Amino acid sequence: MSETPTAEVAAGTVTAVAAAADLSDRAGYDPGFLAPGPVVPLPVPTDGTAVVVLPYTHFSVVLRPDRRLAAATAVTVDGAALRDVERGGDGWFLDPRVGPDAQAGADLYARNDFDRGHLVRRRDPVWGGPAEARRANADTFSYTNAAPQASGFNQSLELWLGLEDHVLAHARGHDARLVVLTGPVFADDDPEYRGVRVPRRFFKVAGYLLGGGATGGATGAGGPVLASAGFVLDQTPLVEEVLRSEAAAQHAPELGAFRTFQVPVADVAELTALDLGPLVAADRMPALVPAASAEGDGVPMWRPLTAPGELLL
């Protein structure tokens, strides 16, 4: 998703470069990145939906050709090795490994109020050596890593865009690494626009390690244990506004039209029909939400968020 600048970067600044035409050497997402924690596999559909896995630098895209958008993305974030890549010269490109009819390109975003929203945030995979960081930065501009987002949604989401930062800061005392899964929540009734059905909601699931003795959860013999947190963002009112009028840029909807929720990771798995592996059982939210004192008196499991301090991590 498009992002606001952040100052939390490791020393070292490199210059952005154009994406390489040949992506055949990309290693992609590393399921074992959180070692000594468990393997967190790439999310794949559980309902038999056909997908194509496209590896990039430090992340992978699980592309749904029938929707021309990613079903999910998975990125590894090394908070101790992030680099600041200067903006400039960044160009969106079609991935040459799949046909143009399998990915939504520039035509979807031209002359309207939809932004090309990064699914993998531009800065998340930008770590490692200078050349490695440059490749990762350029790779995030593949159209397979974009999704149509109403501009009021995409440009005003400091909370949504900074969720990884808040989770990383929480985990930093134990382990400065994250895996982040992001993608659309597809629905059969998503409205069609220029040959692409526009998703109304997006999900994000972050996985990280916590020291076993301090978390109150399973200790794993006192060592670090896997923890996770799930989020859903709803842009329904803004999508409807854009589709009602091509003049939406001159009549922007209210900024309150998007909503961010912390949700059970199990709900994300059910909504998306994706296998989220051990992240479902590692969810911090059920353990931290107070149990119902009487039938019907429980705390709603979808928690609307308005500030970072409301996150349950």
* Each residue's pLDDT tens digit, 179-210: 999 999 999 988 888 888 989 889 999 999 98
**Tokens 């900074």 sit on residue:** 162
Residue 304 has pLDDT above 80, yes or no: yes
Residue 8 has pLDDT above 90, yes or no: no
pLDDT for 221 equals 58
Q: What does pLDDT average to over the chain?
A: 79
Residues 185, 168: Cα–Cα separation, whole Å: 24
What's this model's pTM, rounded to 2 decimal places?
Answer: 0.83
- Tell me the three state secondary structure of residue 81: coil
pLDDT for 217 equals 40
Residue 250 has pLDDT above 60, yes or no: no
- Tell me the three state secondary structure of residue 62: strand
Percent of the chain with pLDDT over 90: 45
Instruction: Please report which residue ranges of 193-299 form alpha helices under DSSP H.
Output: 212-215, 236-244, 265-272, 285-288
pLDDT for 219 equals 42
pLDDT for 165 equals 82
* Each residue's pLDDT tens digit, 111-129: 777 788 889 988 899 999 9
Give burial (CB, 10 Å; 0-12/13-18/19+) of 36.
exposed
Over range 137-142, report the average pLDDT. 94
Over range 265-270, report the average pLDDT. 94
DSSP-derived letter for residue 249 is G
Q: Helices (H) and strands (E) in the chain — how many of each?
A: 9, 16
* Each residue's pLDDT tens digit, 84-104: 888 766 789 999 999 999 999
pLDDT for 182 equals 95
Q: Which domains does the chain have, with CATH numbers?
A: 13-310 (3.40.570.10)
Residue 275 neighbours by CB under 8 Å, 6+ apart: 41, 43, 44, 45, 46, 269
pLDDT for 292 equals 39
Q: Regarding predicted confidence, which is higher, 211 or 126?
A: 126
pLDDT for 260 equals 84
Q: Regarding predicted confidence, which is higher, 25 or 292?
A: 25
